[in-house]
C-alpha cells in the first residue's frame, strides 16, 4: 500500500474522543486529511476539537459491538469521502483487578470493545481493501499485549488476543497489498488511568495485597507518565505515511525496556524447556 500523496488520505479511527485517539484526530485534521472518527459521544468529540477545523471530520456515534452499526459507519465514510485508506482500531479502556475478582460481565464488556469491536471493523473494511489492493490497518495494542503483570489480567487478555489476531491477519492479506501494524505504547499522559477510562471490580478480596498496592500506585500515576500522546499520534502517522514500520511498533522508552525484558525472559524459558520439550517426539519421525 502506498500512502496517497495526490489527495488527502482518509482515516477511520475508533475510540476518538479521548487520549491518543483524540490527539490523532487533531493531528490529521491539521494535516488536511479526512477523518471518520467513531465514539460513543460525538458531542464530547466535537467539544474537544474546539479551535480545530472540522470541515474534514466525519463524527460517528457507534457501538463497536454492533456489527450492523459498524458496517453502516464504514459505508457512510465511503459515501462522504469516497474511500478509506487507513483504519486505526484504537478503542479501549483499562481495567485493574485480580483475575479472581473480575466478574463475567466485565470480561465480556472488555472483549466486546477490544476484540469483537475490532473484528467487526476488520470484516467491514477488508473486502474493499482487497478489491483495491491497498489499505493500511493499525491496531493499537500496548506493552501489556507483550508482557502481562499481576492485576492486569483482563486488559492483557484483550491485548494478547489482539496481537494474535493481528499477526494472523498480516499474513493473510500481505498478497493484497494491505499493510498491517501493531502499535505497542507504554504509559502515556492521557485519561487512561483516571476514573473516566479505568475499570475496577465492584468487590475485591484481601487475598491479593500486591494487586491492591499496584492499583493504588496506578491510580496515583496520572500526570507522571513518560509518554506524550501528541508525539505518539505523530508516530502513528509516520507508521502510515512511510509504510516501513515493523509489525510490532513499540512506542516509548519504558515500553522498549519492558519488551527487551520480555524477550530475555522468553529466551531463558525456551532454554530451560529444551530438555523436556524434545522428549515428547515420536521416535524416528523427522
Which amino acids are annotated catalytic? 141, 155, 159
Cα–Cα dist 185/232, whole Å: 8
Cα–Cα nearest to 185, from 236, 244, 150, 219: 236
How far is residue 103's CA from residue 280's CA, in Å, rounded to a whole number? 38
**3-class secondary structure, 239:** helix
Helix (H, G, I), strand (E, B) or coil at 150: coil
- How far is residue 240's CA from residue 277's CA, in Å, rounded to a whole number? 41
Q: ∠ CA 160-166-169 to the nearest 5 degrees? A: 145
Closest CA to 60 of 122, 92, 15: 15
Amino acid at each position: 500500500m502506498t500512502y496517497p500523496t495526490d489527495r488527502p488520505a482518509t482515516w477511520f479511527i475508533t475510540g476518538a474522543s479521548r487520549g491518543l485517539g483524540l490527539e490523532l484526530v487533531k493531528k490529521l485534521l491539521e494535516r488536511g486529511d479526512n477523518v471518520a472518527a467513531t465514539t460513543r459521544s460525538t458531542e464530547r468529540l466535537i467539544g474537544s476539537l474546539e479551535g480545530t477545523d472540522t470541515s474534514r471530520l466525519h463524527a460517528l456515534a457507534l457501538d463497536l459491538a454492533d456489527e450492523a452499526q459498524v458496517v453502516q459507519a464504514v459505508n457512510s465514510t465511503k459515501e462522504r469521502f469516497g474511500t478509506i485508506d487507513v483504519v486505526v482500531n484504537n478503542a479501549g479502556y483499562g481495567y485493574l483487578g485480580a483475575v479472581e475478582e473480575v466478574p463475567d460481565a466485565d470480561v465480556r464488556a472488555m472483549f466486546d470493545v477490544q476484540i469483537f469491536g475490532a473484528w467487526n471493523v476488520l470484516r467491514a473494511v477488508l473486502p474493499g481493501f482487497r478489491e483495491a489492493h491497498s489499505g493500511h490497518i493499525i491496531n493499537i495494542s500496548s506493552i501489556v499485549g507483550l508482557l502481562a503483570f499481576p492485576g492486569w489480567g483482563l486488559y492483557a487478555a484483550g491485548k494478547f488476543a489482539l496481537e494474535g489476531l493481528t499477526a494472523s491477519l498480516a499474513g493473510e492479506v500481505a498478497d493484497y497489498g494491505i499493510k498491517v501494524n501493531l502499535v505497542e505504547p507504554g504509559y502515556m499522559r492521557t485519561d487512561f488511568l483516571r476514573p473516566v477510562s479505568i475499570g475496577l471490580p465492584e468487590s475485591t478480596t484481601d487475598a491479593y495485597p500486591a494487586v491492591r498496592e499496584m492499583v493504588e500506585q496506578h491510580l496515583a500515576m496520572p500526570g507522571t507518565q513518560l509518554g506524550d500522546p501528541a508525539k505518539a499520534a505523530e508516530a502513528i502517522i509516520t507508521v502510515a505515511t512511510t509504510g516501513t514500520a515493523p509489525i510490532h511498533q513499540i512506542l516509548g522508552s519504558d515500553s522498549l525496556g519492558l519488551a527487551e525484558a520480555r524477550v530475555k525472559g522468553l529466551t531463558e524459558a525456551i532454554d530451560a524447556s529444551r530438555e523436556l520439550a524434545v522428549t515428547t517426539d515420536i521416535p524416528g519421525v523427522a
